[in-house]
């Protein structure tokens, strides 16, 4: 009997383990959708492969002909290497599995933090599910998934530091060192730190916090800021990471920089959390200043830019947990349920579920068994990316400089670099506003669009078949462009005088 109980102790899952498995599977079911809407994953893999192959960083651009030789700052170089490394072993399956594990681990930490702050397990599950539903709109196999995880760790560590006698300051700059080399949104950590700094100033003036605690909080900020300069590119990392954030022209034309559209069902959980925050005014427990700053600030940032929704969710999750807890405690049935769950889970060691899930899913993908809902596997979708057109180009390579669709640049690099370089890709912070405007002028066929192509000595194009540029050029043969390949997704055109 004791042996049976011991086996069940390790085999039966806890609620946190069920959440981990559920999120991981939810991510994998989305499969190719999470990387087929733009080619950014392709660029990250290509850059990472360059670093792994040559054991050095490309300090000057070798991926485009428009900025060839220009100074290149790779603010996501470590994430590029990680994605390239897993891709070498498991292909695109590896990249998707990595992103799924980052998402699952983040939700697992959200649940754990809500429990750690004394809330009911049912409350933690509800909030964790809400965080999942809010963040799912920006679940992509890209480096920002590291920020999703690291911002949660950073925020929860700050709360523990601020409310306890634990003073392990060293782990904050260490975390920031890793974060700054993984993804450019590391500055989100300093936004959270700022809320705690303001809270400390007010509490110090009220005689609640000591000067010593303020010095330690300042040390975290200063040392962490200094840690961001420990990277292959020094101070230029900051200019690249935040340099274009205030550029309204560029950010207003990039989908994940736009404000959320509440007619889209995927944003409704965010709307629900905003409305629920208003009910905090009715609760018995008074919201602390730092909580109010984080709640209001991240709601504002989520309303401004859709890519901030996952960050809003992980930062504010424990705050929502505390709000919901005040009402949950008024229901005796929930308190009884919590006692029973706590008693049951105190005997369970469900880590076998997490380990088994990772090993099982990895093995399934390794064997080539598709897990996505459409059963096509983790491949770039031919109705979103120029898959068939690039297949044709591999058999019929073109000479001269290319003009390509913005969203396809990373995919072209993934399939064709170094034989082919691009006009532009998703790294907008590198290409800058001037080139981006020129790109928009060409695809819109604005006045002077031909001069732009002449200036970059463009010989051929790879553009969407249903786009304005392809349709107009096919209609007006006198413009001197000849269709040399066409399918439902992509069209390849070449200057007629330069046709092979």
* One pLDDT digit (tens) per residue for the chain, 500 residues: 455 566 667 777 888 999 999 999 999 999 898 888 888 999 999 999 999 999 999 989 999 999 999 999 898 999 999 999 999 999 999 999 999 999 999 999 999 999 999 999 999 999 999 999 999 988 989 999 999 999 999 999 999 999 987 778 999 999 999 999 999 899 999 999 999 999 999 999 999 998 999 999 999 999 999 999 999 988 888 887 776 666 667 666 677 778 888 988 889 999 999 998 887 777 766 789 999 999 999 999 999 989 999 999 999 999 999 999 988 888 889 889 988 888 887 777 767 888 888 899 889 999 888 888 888 889 999 999 999 999 999 999 999 999 999 999 999 999 999 999 999 998 888 888 899 999 999 999 999 999 999 999 999 999 999 999 999 998 876 668 999 999 999 999 998 765 44
DSSP 328-352: HTT-HHHHHHHHHHHHHHTT--THH
Sequence-ordered list of residues with C-beta below 8 angstroms from that of 177, at least 6 positions apart, any chain: 227, 228, 230
CA quadruple 193, 195, 199, 201: dihedral sign: positive
The residues facing 494 across adjacent strands are 460, 482
Q: Quick count: other Cβ atoms within 10 Å of Cβ 288?
A: 15
Say how far apart CA 496 and CA 481 lie, in whole Å.
5
Specify the DSSP element, H or E, that contains 490.
strand 490-495
**How far lies 377's CA from each of 75, 364, 388, in Å?**
30, 11, 17
* Element at 480 (helix H, strand E): none
- DSSP-H helix ranges across 91-187: 92-116, 121-135, 144-163, 171-182
Contact 200, 178 (CB under 8 A): no
- The distance from CA 107 to its chain's CA centroid, rounded to whole angstroms, is 14
Q: What is the largest CA-CA distance in the chain?
A: 86
Position 423 scores a pLDDT of 97
Residue 250 pLDDT:
66
Q: What whole-number distance in Å separates Cα of residue 39 and Cα of residue 20?
A: 28
Classify the phi-psi angles of 368: left when phi > 0, otherwise alpha if psi is within -120 to 50, otherwise beta. Answer: left
* β-strand partners of 64: 422
Residue pair 86/101 in contact by the 8 Å Cβ criterion: no
Model pLDDT for residues 31-47, shown as the tens digit of each residue: 898 888 888 999 999 99
CA distances (Å), 456 to each of 39, 196, 376, 400, 438, in order? 22, 50, 38, 10, 11
The burial of 69, by beta-carbon neighbours within 10 Å (0-12 exposed, 13-18 middle, 19 or more buried), is given as exposed
User: From CA 357, how far away is CA 28, in angstroms rounded?
Assistant: 12
492 phi and psi, to 5 degrees? -110, 125
The b/e string for 403-432 (b: 16+ C-beta within 10 A; e otherwise) is bbbbbbbbbbbbbbbeebbbbbbbbbbbbe
Residue 103 and residue 148 in contact, taking contact as beta carbons nearer than 8 Å: yes
Residues forming beta bridges with residue 186, ordered by sequence position:
none
* 119 vs 46: CA distance, rounded Å: 45
Whole-number Å distance between alpha carbons of 220 and 265: 40
DSSP state of 426: S
Query: In this structure, are residues 311 and 185 in contact, taking their beta carbons and an 8 Å threshold?
Result: yes
**Which of 175, 157, 169, 176 has its CA nearest to residue 217?**
169
pLDDT for 5: 62
Which structure tokens are listed for 291? 């909580």
Quote the CA–CA distance of 124 and 70 in Å, as a whole number.
Answer: 49
Give me the count of residues in the chain: 500
What is d(CA 324, CA 280) in angstroms, rounded to the nearest whole number?
9
Integer CA distances (angstroms), 371 to 28, 31, 119, 374, in order:
6, 7, 35, 8
The residue with tokens 């999750």 is 317
For residue 265, give Cα distances in angstroms to 57, 249, 270: 42, 27, 10
* Omega prior to 361 cis, within 30 of 0: no
| Integer Cα distance of 477 and 262 in angstroms | 43
| DSSP 3-state of 362 | helix
Q: What angle do CA 31, 255, 475 make, to 5 degrees?
A: 95
């Amino acid at each position: 009997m004791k042996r049976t109980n011991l086996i069940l102790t390790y085999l039966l899952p806890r609620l946190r383990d069920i959440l981990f498995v559920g999120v991981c599977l939810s991510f994998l079911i989305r499969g190719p959708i999470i990387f087929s809407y733009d080619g950014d994953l392709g660029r990250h893999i290509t850059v990472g492969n360059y670093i792994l192959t040559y054991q050095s960083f490309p300090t000057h651009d070798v991926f485009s002909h428009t900025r060839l030789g220009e100074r290149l700052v790779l603010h996501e170089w470590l994430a590029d290497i990680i994605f390239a490394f897993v891709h070498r072993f498991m292909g695109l399956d590896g990249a998707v599995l990595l992103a799924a594990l980052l998402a699952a681990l983040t939700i697992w930490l959200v649940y754990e933090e809500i429990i750690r702050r004394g809330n009911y397990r049912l409350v933690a599950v509800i909030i964790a599910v809400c965080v999942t539903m809010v963040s799912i709109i920006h679940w992509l196999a890209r480096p920002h998934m590291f920020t999703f995880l690291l911002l949660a760790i950073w925020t929860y560590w700050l709360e523990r530091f601020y409310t306890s006698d634990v003073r392990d300051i060293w782990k904050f700059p260490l975390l920031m060192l890793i974060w700054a080399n993984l993804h450019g949104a590391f500055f989100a950590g300093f936004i959270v730190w700022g809320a705690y700094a303001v809270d400390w100033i007010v509490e110090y003036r009220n005689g609640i916090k000591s000067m010593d605690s303020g010095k330690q909080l300042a040390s975290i900020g200063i040392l962490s800021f200094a840690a961001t300069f420990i990277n292959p590119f020094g101070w230029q990392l900051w200019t690249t990471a935040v340099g274009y954030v205030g550029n309204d022209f560029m950010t207003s034309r990039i989908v994940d920089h736009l404000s959320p559209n509440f007619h889209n069902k995927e944003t409704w959980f965010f709307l629900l959390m905003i409305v629920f925050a208003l009910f905090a005014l009715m609760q018995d427990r008074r919201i602390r200043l730092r909580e109010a700053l984080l709640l209001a600030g991240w709601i504002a940032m989520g309303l401004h830019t859709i890519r901030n929704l996952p960050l809003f969710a992980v930062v504010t999750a424990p705050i929502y947990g505390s709000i919901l807890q005040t009402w949950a405690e008024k229901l005796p049935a929930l308190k009884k349920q919590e006692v029973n769950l706590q008693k049951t889970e105190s005997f369970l060691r469900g880590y076998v579920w997490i380990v088994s899930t990772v090993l099982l899913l990895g093995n399934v993908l390794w064997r080539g068994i598709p897990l996505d809902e459409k059963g096509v596997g983790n491949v770039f979708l031919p109705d979103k990316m120029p898959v068939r057109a690039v297949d044709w180009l591999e058999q019929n390579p073109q000479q001269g400089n290319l003009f390509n669709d913005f969203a396809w640049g990373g995919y072209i690099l993934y399939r064709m670099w170094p034989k082919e370089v691009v006009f532009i890709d998703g790294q907008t912070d590198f290409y800058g506003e001037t080139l981006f405007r020129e790109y928009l002028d060409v695809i819109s066929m604005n006045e002077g669009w031909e001069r732009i192509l002449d200036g970059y000595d463009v010989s051929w194009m790879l553009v969407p078949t249903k786009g304005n540029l392809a349709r107009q050029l096919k209609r007006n043969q006198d413009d001197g462009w000849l269709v040399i390949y066409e399918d439902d997704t992509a069209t390849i055109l070449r200057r007629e005088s330069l046709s092979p």
